[in-house]
Amino acid sequence: MNNATHDHFLSVRRVLVGAIAATALLGAGLVGLAPGSGAAAHKPAVVKVKLIEYKIKLKPSTVTLKAASAGKVKMVAANKGSMEHEMVVVRADSVEALPLDADGVVVEDQIPEADFMGEIGEYKQGRTKSKVFTLTPGTYVVFCNIDVDYGGTIINHFKQDMHAVLTVK
């Protein structure tokens, strides 16, 4: 009887020690979670984009990449205008650095492939679309380049100042 009680006491102690050891390991694991490891560490930076006639607003307009994000920047683009818009992301030092034609319209064909980061193609007002871009530190121009024909008069959204600069650090 005495022995049985003693054994029981020992086994309870063993369970407690085991629990403490597990907690210590878990703690060490969390502390040891270096940038780049673990699913949560890969969360992209997020930029909220507002598209209206004829402006693009970025919030924030400067993002600092965490090492663990692997250059991933999620653009959440809300079309708050009254017509379709698109969102193109191109690496360029400034709006003026983009290849423009004589009318001041971006010539997308002349953008080097390596500088073309991608786009969210035109979509309806009232909708929000998201896309994750892989960006390295630098300067990017975010713009809408659609043309709308108003009975022969073509309005190009980029030319109407529908662009913004995104800085990635």
Applying the rule CB under 5 A, the residues between 125 and 154 that interact with Cu ion are 144
Q: Is 159 in the site for Cu ion (CB under 5 A)?
A: no
Residue 68 phi/psi, 5° resolution? Answer: -75, -15
Smallest separation (angstroms) from Cu ion to the CB of 86: 6
Kindly write out the interface string for residues 72-101 of this chain, putting x where it contacts Cu ion by CB under 5 A and - elsewhere: -------------x----------------
Among 91, 157, 159, 163, binds Cu ion (CB under 5 A): 157
CB of 89 or CB of 144, closer to Cu ion: 144
Is residue 157 within a helix (H) or strand (E), and if so which, with residue range?
Answer: none
Smallest separation (angstroms) from Cu ion to the CB of 34: 42
DSSP state of 61: S
**Bridging pattern class, strands 163-168 and 62-63:** parallel
Smallest separation (angstroms) from Cu ion to the CB of 124: 12
Report CA-CA distances (Å) from 39 to 49, 92, 121: 25, 31, 29
> With contacts defined by CB under 5 A, how many residues of the chain interact with Cu ion?
4
CB of 103 or CB of 113, closer to Cu ion: 103
Residues 6 or more apart whose Cβ sits within 8 Å of residue 17: none
Across 120-133, b (16+ Cβ under 10 Å) vs e yields beebeeeeebebeb
The footprint of Cu ion (CB under 5 A) covers 85, 144, 157, 162
